[in-house]
């Protein structure tokens, strides 16, 4: 179901109108989902990816005892640990359809379709968002990749680029209430021109929604390289524990999607209840260490602590 009537209005209407769901779409999501990995209410979840530096092969044989996790330099007790190979994925595929990607859109569509068919299993669910001057939920969560593929084939390029708005709104309105592994895949040149939200606002919301962001840049496809856009994609992905790819060819573009697919099946989920009980809304830095030589580790760099409610403050 296409909801293009909101495409130009979303940047001025209340955010509650963005990504509205039909009853059928809600039922579809409820029926297709499975019970996710659950932890205590106040627990912090951290997805960790570990690969060998020399071969880039993912390390998948670690145990809870191999990990240490620190918050603001203070070691924390790991309360839950699991390897994420078989747990469900919640994916938001965000595709740039601005004028700047017009010549690249056909390649983007082809590789995005291949990715969905490769990564999605019946227990996973994904949605499709396109962004140019506005942000459009093209199709809500579904476990059937064919639903998304039909919509991808109809995408057309035109308008500005509202990347920051797209990530902010997806995180706030689609991912914030989801549980388990939440992943946002961005296909864009990273050159934001028309967003109402700033980069800092977008990043804060990404932290709050606990999403891992992967970005596949299209800046090297027959156009001048946008270093500012590249830097934005790098900062966003590295801060959330993901990764940015900068392919030079269609073959490398397909390879980037394959690497994302493999990585999503090779992660560890660590959870801990912070020893710092202050509800002050401050940013807490996270550091994960692993007992294995010659490896590189990626995870989100921190989170924002909850703030006191008005009831708690008055009490």
What residues contact 132, with CB distance under 8 A and at least 6 apart? 7, 96, 97, 98, 99, 157, 158, 159, 160, 161, 162
Q: Which residue has the higher pLDDT, 19 or 119?
A: 119
Cα three-residue angle 19-95-286, rounded to 5 degrees: 80
pLDDT in tens, 2-22: 333 334 334 333 344 444 444
Q: Which residue has the higher pLDDT, 126 or 82?
A: 126
Q: Which residue has the higher pLDDT, 86 or 71?
A: 71
Identify whether the C-beta of residue 224 lies closer than 8 Å to the C-beta of residue 242: no
pLDDT at 166: 97
On the question of pLDDT at 59 being above 70, the answer is: yes
d(CA 171, CA 165): 10
Q: Residue 220's pLDDT band (boundaries 50, 70, 90)?
A: low
d(CA 274, CA 284): 10
86-264 topology per CATH: Rossmann fold (3.40.50)
Lowest-pLDDT choice from 114-123, 169-178, 289-298: 114-123
Percent over 90 (pLDDT), the chain: 55
pLDDT at 13: 34
The total of other beta-carbon atoms located within 10 Å of residue 221's CB is: 18
Residue 120 to residues 53, 98, 116, 164, 285, Cα–Cα distance (Å) = 28, 26, 6, 26, 32
- Domain span(s) for CATH 3.40.50.410 in the chain: 86-264
pLDDT at 88: 84
């Amino acid at each position: 179901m296409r909801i293009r009537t909101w495409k130009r209005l979303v940047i001025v209407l209340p955010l509650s109108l963005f990504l509205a769901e039909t009853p059928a779409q809600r039922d579809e999501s409820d029926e297709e989902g499975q019970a996710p990995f659950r932890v205590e209410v106040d627990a912090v979840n951290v997805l960790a990816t570990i690969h060998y530096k020399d071969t880039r092969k993912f390390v998948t044989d670690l145990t809870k005892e191999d990990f240490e996790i620190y918050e603001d330099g203070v070691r924390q007790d790991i309360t839950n640990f699991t390897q994420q190979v078989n747990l469900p994925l919640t994916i938001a595929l965000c595709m740039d359809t601005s004028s700047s990607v017009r010549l690249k859109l056909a390649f983007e569509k082809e590789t995005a379709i291949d990715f969905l068919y490769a990564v999605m299993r019946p227990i996973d669910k994904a949605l499709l968002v396109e962004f140019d001057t506005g942000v459009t939920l093209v199709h809500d969560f579904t476990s059937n990749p064919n639903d998304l593929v039909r919509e991808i084939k109809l995408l057309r390029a035109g308008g500005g680029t509202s990347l920051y708005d797209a990530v902010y709104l997806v995180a706030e309105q689609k991912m914030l209430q989801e549980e388990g592994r939440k992943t946002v895949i961005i296909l864009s040149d990273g050159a934001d021109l028309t967003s109402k939200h700033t980069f800092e606002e977008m990043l804060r919301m990404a932290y709050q929604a606990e999403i891992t962001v992967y970005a596949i840049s299209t800046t090297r496809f027959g156009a001048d390289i946008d270093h500012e856009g590249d830097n934005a994609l790098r900062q966003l992905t590295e801060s959330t524990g993901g990764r940015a790819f900068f392919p030079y060819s269609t073959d490398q573009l397909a390879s980037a999607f394959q690497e994302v697919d493999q990585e999503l099946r090779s992660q560890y989920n660590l959870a801990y209840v912070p020893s710092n009980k202050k509800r002050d809304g401050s940013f807490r830095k996270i550091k994960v260490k692993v007992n294995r030589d010659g490896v590189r580790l990626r995870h989100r760099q921190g989170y924002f602590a909850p703030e006191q409610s008005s009831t708690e403050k008055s009490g």
